Amino acid sequence: MLQDRRVPFRASGYNPQTYGAISLLTLIATIALWQLAASQGWISTQFASSPEAILQSLRNLYASGELWEHLSASLQRLAIGWVIGTITGIIFGLLLGLFSIARSSGMALVSALFPIPKIALVPLFIIWFGIGEGSKIVTLVFGVFFPTVINTVAGVDAVPRGLIRMGQSFGLRPLSIVAKIVLPGALPSIFAGFRITTATAIVLLVAAEMIGAEHGIGAFVLQAGNLYATDDLLAGIVVLSLLGLCVSFVVGQLERVLLRWR
Amino acid sequence: MSDVALDALERRGIGLSVCAVSHAYRGLKALEGIDIEIPPGEVTVVVGPSGCGKSTLLGILGGLVAQEAGEVVLHGDPGADCLNPLTYVFQDFALLPWRSVAGNVSLVLEDHAMDKAARAARVAEVLALTGLTEFADAWPRQLSGGMRQRVGIARALAVRPAVLLMDEPLSALDAQTRDLLLDEFAALIARTGVTTVYVTHNLPEAVRLGHSIVVLGRRPGRVREIIRIDMPLAERRPDDTALMAIEQRLWALLRDDAAEAARELA
Ligand SMILES: Nc1ncnc2c1ncn2[C@@H]1O[C@H](COP(=O)(O)OP(=O)(O)OP(=O)(O)O)[C@@H](O)[C@H]1O
Ligand SMILES: [Mg+2]
């Protein structure tokens, strides 16, 4: 005979949360463990330095003005290269997204050029544009341009046809349809591309600076490595990771403001 | 719906003639030899089974689908303040999610020479008319389906249309909301006398709104019958026996085609 039983709850799990305190503690514990290992001599400071020494190195670099010298050179290249690559990428992406001829020829070129590892082109760009700023910025522009084009085209394709038909049915001008319907509709996809292109840009920046630059975080890290100055080398890497964090924070904020309708 | 400013949308004498219109999609005949007069100031309802070409016909009327043969002629002068003579209200509302309610209405005015204050006044006026004033700054995603379609109506009224083209404007809504909005449509159309072409599957809607009801058959879409209802919109009640009889007749006309359509792949 069946007995009366309470219905058990079966839907627990598969719903992970992020607890801020645990995240923070993990980071702090990792750094503390590293410091402990270094000060106890478990690891060689010549190869891995220590958090304290890295901090000291950062302080010195800051006080001497060297930090800013390298960082400003890098930031400038990053900003110029990323902005040019992004703007041209969005413009080309819109053209490819909207016009059959542009799409047919443009997509063929983009598909052919996109898979090239951009770092491999740095020597070529140095031959074309010289060892100075030109080749570095062109490397960044090149690396940012293609993913931006691809994401913009995907974004344009994702704009519901019905919204464009609506615009046409109300007699909106073609430029208004592009500016007020197509572009905003493509924006979520374009922003998803920003996350990729900002990360790519930092990688290419460091690579280009390592190949031939006096200033810049990439150049600084390379010099420190040549001198076995692990403190400085890791200080440079800390700066780079902070740079990455800041950039993705800015992109996130921009996204929050511009896509708040979602 | 509030009565404010309804008079600004005064009756216009715009009619449409559909002459021998045919259309096919890649060899599939959707419409064949359609002749319909759409008289000014009346509601012409188009009913028919799924896939008989109702949306195609409405698209041809408003210039969104290029017909293969035949022509559509607009009669009468829409007047200088009419910014978009043939204006759609869409089944899926077609609102821009990145614009507020007011922004969606303003969109269709922004390409016209109109100073900012006049545009804001026009937007406020149509929002008041559709009971949306307090939602002016809301995003579309925050609204219920019924409210979204009200925005669609407000947007259509903002351009002072000569002809409203509505493709199943209520079919995405739940039954209660549909009834409420249907009454509002009837009141609005009766008050403004705007010429309307209204596509629907729903026969109670058809007899509630239509001055004439065009019944389309399928494969290819042809006019099977045109039924006239001369009772004024304001007098029509859901339990009116004459209207119920017409509804029965429509159903008898549609039944076989509808059954056949239901057995087919979409
Ligand atoms: N863009 C298109 N390409 C190809 N065929 C189409 C297209 N649009 C519609 N059709 C076909 O043409 C016929 C008529 O379509 P239409 O959408 O006009 O019918 P409808 O009466 O509005 O149907 P429903 O009641 O389902 O809305 C259908 O068989 C449909 O499959
Ligand atoms: Mg349809």
pLDDT tens per residue across span A208-259: 999 878 899 999 999 999 999 999 999 999 999 999 999 999 999 999 999 9
pLDDT at B11: 54
User: Phi then psi for A13, rounded to 5 degrees?
Assistant: 80, -175
Tell me the backbone φ, ψ of residue B195, rounded to 5 degrees. Answer: -60, 135
pLDDT digits 0-9 by tens, A171-193: 999 999 999 999 999 999 999 99
pLDDT at position A115 over 50: yes
Give me the pLDDT at residue B137, please. Answer: 94
Neighbours of A18 (CB within 10 A): 6
ipTM of the complex: 0.91
d(C-alpha B249, C-alpha A76), whole Å: 76
Q: Provide the shortest C-alpha distance from residue B108 to chain A (in Å).
A: 6
HSE-up (13 A, CA, CB side) for residue A59: 6
Cβ neighbour number for residue A251 with a 10 Å cutoff: 16
Could you give the CA distance from residue B228 to residue B214 in angstroms, rounded to a whole number?
9
Residues A29-81: pLDDT tens digits? 999 999 999 999 898 888 888 999 999 999 999 999 999 999 999 999 999 99
Kindly list the residues from chain A whose CB atom is less than 8 angstroms away from the CB atom of residue B94. 162-163, 165-166
The three-state DSSP-derived secondary structure of chain A is CCCCCCCCCCCCCCCCCCCHHHHHHHHHHHHHHHHHHHHCCCCCHHHHCCHHHHHHHHHHHHHHCHHHHHHHHHHHHHHHHHHHHHHHHHHHHHHHHHCHHHHHHHHHHHHHHCCCCHHHHHHHHHHHHCCCHHHHHHHHHHHHHHHHHHHHHHHHHHCCHHHHHHHHHCCCCHHHHHHHHHHHHHHHHHHHHHHHHHHHHHHHHHHHHHHCCCCCHHHHHHHHHHCCCHHHHHHHHHHHHHHHHHHHHHHHHHHHHHCCCC
Q: Determine, for residues B96 and A181 on separate chains, whether the beta-carbon distance falls below 8 Å.
A: yes
In this predicted model, what pLDDT tens digit does every residue of A81-98 receive, in sequence order? 999 999 999 999 999 999
Backbone phi, psi, residue B16, to 5° = -130, 145
Whether B99 sits inside 8 A of A181 (CB atoms) is no
Look up residue A189 and give its two tokens: 């996809």
Burial tier of A122 (Cβ tally within 10 Å: 0-12, 13-18, 19+): buried
What's the whole-number average pLDDT of chain A?
Answer: 93
Residues B40 and B194: beta-carbon distance below 8 Å: no
Nearest C-alpha in A relative to B152: A166
In this prediction, residue A102 carries a pLDDT of 92
Task: List per-residue pLDDT tens for chain B, 266 residues long.
Answer: 444 455 555 556 789 899 888 898 887 888 888 899 999 889 999 998 888 889 999 999 999 999 888 999 998 888 888 899 999 999 999 999 999 999 999 999 999 988 999 999 999 999 999 999 999 999 999 999 999 999 999 999 999 999 999 999 998 888 888 888 898 888 888 888 889 999 998 999 999 999 999 999 887 788 888 999 988 888 888 888 888 888 898 898 888 777 777 777 66
B141 touches chain A (CB under 8 A): yes
- Kindly report, residue by residue over B167-180, the tens digit of the pLDDT: 999 988 888 888 88
Predicted local distance difference test score (pLDDT) of residue B1: 44
Give the closest residue (by CA) to ligand 1 atom 29.
B51
| Amino acid at position A152, single letter | T
DSSP calls for chain B:
---TTGGGG-----EEEEEEEEEEETTEEEEEEEEEEE-TT-EEEEE-STTSSHHHHHHHHTTSS--SEEEEEEES---TT-S-SEEEE-TT----TTS-HHHHHHHTTTTSS--HHHHHHHHHHHHHHTT-GGGTT--GGGS-HHHHHHHHHHHHHHT--SEEEEESTTTTS-HHHHHHHHHHHHHHHHHH--EEEEE-S-HHHHHHH-SEEEEEETTTBEEEEEEE--S-GGG--TT-HHHHHHHHHHHHHHHHHHHHHHTS--
- What are the chain B neighbours of A166 within 8 Å (beta carbons)? 88, 90, 94
Q: Do B92 and A172 touch (CB under 8 A)?
A: no
B75 strand-pairing partners: B15
Give the residue on A whose Cα is nearest the Cα of B95.
A163
Domains in chain A: boundaries: 53-258
Residue B164 bridge partners (DSSP): B87, B196
Q: Alpha carbon B11 to chain centroid distance?
A: 16
Contact call for residues B151 and B89 (beta carbons, < 8 A):
no
Nearest-CB residue to A163 (from B86, B88, B94): B94
Band of residue A165 on the pLDDT scale cut at 50, 70, 90? very high
The minimum CA-CA distance between B117 and chain A, rounded to whole Å, is 20
Q: Answer yes or no: do A184 and B88 touch at CB < 8 A.
A: no
Question: What does the alpha-carbon distance between residue A86 and residue A143 come to, in Å, rounded to a whole number?
Answer: 10
The whole-number pLDDT of residue B4 equals 45
What is d(CA B95, CA B88) in angstroms, rounded to the nearest whole number? Answer: 12
Burial (CB < 10 A; 0-12, 13-18, 19+), residue B47, is: buried
Chain B residues closer than 8 Å to A181 by CB: 96
Which atom of ligand 1 is nearest the CA belonging to B31? 14
User: Of A176, A259, A262, which has the smallest distance from its Cβ to B110's Cβ?
Assistant: A176
Architecture of domain A53-258 in CATH? Orthogonal Bundle (1.10)
Q: How many residues does chain B have?
A: 266
pLDDT of residue B263: 76
The nearest CA of chain A is from the CA of B60 a distance in Å of 11
- The residues lining ligand 1, judged by C-beta closer than 6 Å to any ligand atom, are B 25, 28, 30, 48, 50-56
